[in-house]
Amino acid sequence: MPIPESFSKWRPHPWHGLETGIEPPGLVNAFIENTPFDLVKYEVDKVSGYLYVDRPQRTSAQLPTLYGFIPRTYCGQRVGALSPNAGGKGDGDPLDICVITERPIMHSEVILSARVVGGIQGIDHGLADDKIIAILANDLIWQSVKDVDELPKMLIDRLYHYFTTYKLTAGKKSQMETEKVYGGEDAKKVIEAAMEDYKEIYGHIENT
């Protein structure tokens, strides 16, 4: 590996300080907040960039994949416009991503390159909250998958069920709705919209 000519003297903020990807929207970076082994929901603190404990998992459902977000994306009006029941608004968070890999990755706060194959259209409290589905870029088992339709239906069913129930509180109606699963081309449109929403809110940020 060549020696880098420059480097960050401080830890970059994972949302703002990392690149969106090598070739977005098809090949993106994912910052992983949660693994399938976590029984607590972790989330990046938007000010400090460190992980904090958001809540214990509320149900017995377990994450089927790695889960995090795509840097320098924002779910705003453009993302909301792609979701008919979101009232033209996103949830104001970076765009979520689920990454499938054959080898278990047990650590969060890792960065990986992921190839986009689809997504789940989610609505959280009436706001667009899409979940992009991707494959670890150099995964030896799944690397031939080009679109979500080529993945095992049971795996997608587990993802769909997880996001339908992961905010469910006993005795109350869930505020998270999963509308549909869509393919890779639609997922790329969502990512492009989230990149444009980010630029509108935060502008262009130079690496330091």
Tell me the per-residue pLDDT of 104-136, one tens digit each, with 9 for 90 and over: 999 999 999 999 999 999 999 899 999 999 999
Peptide bond into 25 cis (omega under 30): yes
- For the residues 141-145, what does the mean pLDDT come to? 94
C-beta of residue 142 within 8 angstroms of C-beta of residue 135: yes
What are the residue ranges spanned by the domains of the chain?
A: 27-202
- Model confidence at 206: pLDDT above 70: no
Please compute the mean of the pLDDT values over residues 159-182 and round it to a whole number: 82
* pLDDT at residue 168 greater than cutoff 90: no
Contact partners, residue 205, CB within 8 Å, separation at least 6 = 16, 17, 72
Q: What is the DSSP letter of 72?
A: T
Share of the chain above pLDDT 70, in %: 95
CATH of 27-202, one of 3.40.30.10, 3.60.20.40, 3.30.43.10, 3.90.80.10: 3.90.80.10
Token readout for 56 is 């214990």
- Give the mean pLDDT of 181-194: 98
- Whole-number mean pLDDT of the chain? 92
User: Please, what sign has the CA dihedral across residues 55, 56, 60, 64?
Assistant: positive
Neighbours of 182 (CB within 10 A): 19
Cα–Cα nearest to 60, from 166, 164, 158: 166
CA atoms of 45 and 69, how far apart (whole Å): 13
Lowest mean pLDDT among 29-33, 137-141, 167-171, 188-192: 167-171
HSE of 38, CA atoms in CB hemisphere, 13 A: 24
Does pLDDT of 26 surpass 50? yes
Would you call 114 exposed, middle or buried from its count of C-beta atoms within 10 A (0-12, 13-18, 19+)?
buried
Which pLDDT value is given to residue 58?
A: 74
| Coil, helix or strand at residue 15 | coil
pTM > 0.75: yes or no: yes
What would the two tokens of residue 16 be?
């703002």
Q: Determine the pLDDT at residue 177.
A: 85
Q: What is the mean pLDDT of residues 76-84?
A: 96
User: What's the pLDDT score for residue 208?
Assistant: 42
CA-nearest of 47, 30, 64, 36 to 191 is 30
**Cα–Cα distance list, 41 to 53, 101, 127, 128 (Å):** 6, 20, 20, 20
Q: Indicate the range of 38-42, 69-73, 146-150 predicted with least confidence.
A: 38-42
Model confidence band, residue 67 (pLDDT cutoffs 50, 70, 90)? very high
